[in-house]
Every structure is written in C-alpha cells, then in structure tokens.
Amino acid sequence: MGVVIDGCPAGIALDVAEIQRELDRRKPGQSRITTQRKEADRARILSGVFEGRTLGTAISIVVDNEDARPEAYDEVRDAYRPSHADYTYEAKYGLRNWQGGGRASARETIGRVAAGAIAAKLLRTGFGVRTLAYVTQIHEVRAEVDPASVTEEAIEASIVRCPHPAAAERMITRIEEARKAGDSVGGIIQAVVRGVPPGLGEPVFDKLTADLAKGLMSLPATRGVEFGLGFASVLLTGSQHNDAFEMREGRVRTATNRSGGIQGGISNGEDILLRVAFKPTATIAHPQRTVTRQGESIELRGKGRHDPCVLPRAVPMVEAMVNLVLIDHLLRATLRRDFDKLAGLVTGGLLNGSSR
C-alpha cells in the first residue's frame, strides 16, 4: 500500500516515526477486540524528504503487506458477499479482484493515515490546530463525553478509544459478545478540532461542512456525518438553536456552539464538532443468503480475520481525513492572503505611479 502527498510545503521537519505512530494506531492485531491479522505496517519514505526535512516535492510513502492470505477468499470467488462491494464493483468494471476487498478494503486507509500524520504536524506546528477523535457509541452503549475537556491520554487509555472509562468497559464487553456470536457491531466516533481560525471554507460548493463530509464519507463503512447538534437540532426552535454572539477574549465569539464551529459553510473560530456513524462490519460468521455470478442461490458464512467492530481502528482514520481537509483549506487561505497582499502592493504601486 502507498500514498503520494502533493502540495506539502518545503522545510518541514519530518521523521518517519511521526508517521509510524499514527499507523500503529490503525494497524490490525493491536488488541483483543480487533482483527488478529498481524501486520507491522512499517512506513518507508521513498521521496520528498531529505535530511529530515520536506523538499516541497511529492512525498511518496509505501507500506508492505506481510500477512495477506488470498486463499481465505476462495469460496467467494464467484459469490457476492452481503453488504460488500463485490457486486457493485463488478457491475461497474465488469470484473473484480475476489482475493479481498480491493479498493473497498479498509487496508487502503493506510495511505490516508500516513498522509494525515503529515497534515496533523503542519496544522499543529504551523497553525496551532489540533484534532482529537474518540468513540462515543458502540451499538447501544453510549458515553457522555465533554469535547472541551477530552484529552489524547484519556482516549488512548482504552483499547476501544473511548475516554469514558466505565462506558469503555461496557463497549469492550459488547464487542466481545458480538465476536463470540459470530456477529459484528457499529457505532459513532466524535471529533473535536481546536484552534481553527474563522474564515475557512467557501460559500457554496466547497463549504467546510461539505468538504469534511465528503472526506469522511469516503472512509469504508461510514453511514453518516453530522455537525454540531446535527439531527438533534430538528427538535429545537430557532430561538433555542441559534448561537448568540458576544465579545470574549478580545474577539467575536459565540456564547454556545450548537453549530459545531461552522456557519454558512465557513468556520467561525469555535471548536469544530462532528460525529461519524460506522455500520457493523460486513463480514460475519453468521450464515447469510446470497447469489453467485451465475445466479445460483447459496448460503455463505464469512471466514478469515475480520474486525467485529471497526471503530477502535477508525479513530485515527477520522482524524486523518479531518486533518487533510483542514490543511488544504488553511494552505489555500494562506496563499489567498499572500496573493491579496501582493496584489495590493502592485495595485498601490501602479496607482502611485511607481515603475515597480
């Protein structure tokens, strides 16, 4: 698996260990509630970095697969796995690689997480922006977590990546119950982004909400994204939902943050709050009805090493996609300001009769 990252500024200090840390949070076999596939997922930087600093050219990173077992998919050579992309890929392309999920596999998110690690460093060191994602729900088990006070240490203290200790234990139990029953469960990941300046996002088609939702919905197994109060806002009136403005800390702020830090598709300077829903893992050991490419009805039982719940490993994926979208918007905003400043200087010179 690999990724090519273009547009990264030159001169950024970058060590492969910073990328590896995020890949280790995503890799399989990290706990008893994830797939037991054993992959080191060691990143190798092939280009774009010299003597520990980015060159400004394309950064290429590769991760070798070490524990692939294509023979485990023999029985689905001609069968369409329920809720997988087998049928839709074949309908689109006329053929498919049946030895796994191909581009629909969560394995491809290695590239996103590797690129997201670089984006996270740029955001943190260059703009003071920090994204934290964590699990707030597994099946019917919910955790009430204050996004304003959540910490990375609290998130990483649990193998399920829920910063609420009591709820985390119940979530782990629920995942283990699903695994023993040959089934799977889904849930919700929440993200909070701190330090985002106001003004990011475009007015119509490239709203910050739209770009974030598109990026997050491109992750495998996602089923929905909501910002601020999200769907719960339909239960409120306008007077209850609106975020009143006030002067605080020397700048315009909102007294509440029901909008989740984005209004009119543009960031307002408050914390960005969003949630992503993930469906249960499609591969389960329960017998399921399906059909073959020849139209024969058969019963299929999932085999192999699969996650009974994708959420613990999806936390770094959510962070990566949020960070990639935000760094694109921030770099564009920076370039626009620099261009406007330069244009102003040129225009001022022309108006003043300067030959420069």
Residue 275 to residue 191: CA distance in whole angstroms: 6
**Mean pLDDT of the residues in the chain:** 92
Angstrom distance (rounded) from CA 356 to CA 354: 5
pLDDT score of 353: 55
pLDDT in tens, 331-345: 999 888 877 776 766
User: What's the CA gap between 280 and 301, in Å, rounded?
Assistant: 16
pLDDT at 67 over 60: yes
Contact at 8 Å (CB) between 250 and 352?
A: no
**What's residue 304's pLDDT?**
62
User: What are residue 266's DSSP bridge partners?
Assistant: 263
Mean pLDDT of 282-309: 87
State phi, psi for 43 to the nearest 5 degrees.
-85, 140
**C-alpha R_g of the chain:** 23
Single-letter residue type at 272: I
- Evaluate if residue 117 carries a pLDDT over 50: yes
> Are the beta carbons of 289 and 296 closer than 8 angstroms?
no
Position 350 pLDDT exceeds 70: no
Higher pLDDT, 72 or 277: 277
Residues 193 and 92: their CA atoms lie apart, in Å, by 37
* 335: Cβ contacts below 8 Å, ≥ 6 apart: none
Q: Which position has the higher pLDDT, 287 or 277?
A: 277
Identify how many contiguous H helices and E strands the chain contains and give both numbers: 8, 16
pLDDT at 37: 76
Q: pLDDT of 88-108, one tens digit each? A: 999 999 988 888 778 888 889
pLDDT band for 346, please (50, 70, 90 cuts). Answer: low
- Options 3.60.150.10, 3.30.590.20, 3.30.1780.10, 3.40.47.10; which CATH number does 2-326 get? 3.60.150.10
Among the listed residues 340, 328, 301, 258, the one whose alpha carbon sits nearest the alpha carbon of residue 116: 328
- Rounded Cα distance between 194 and 271, Å, is 5
How far apart CA 89 and CA 37 sit, in angstroms, is: 25
Cα gap 128→90, rounded to integer Å = 45
At residue 303, does pLDDT exceed 50?
Answer: yes
With contact defined as beta carbons under 8 Å apart, do 82 and 290 qualify? yes
Give this prediction's pTM.
0.93
The residue-averaged pLDDT of 288-304 equals 88
Could you tell me the residue ranges of all domains in the chain? 2-326
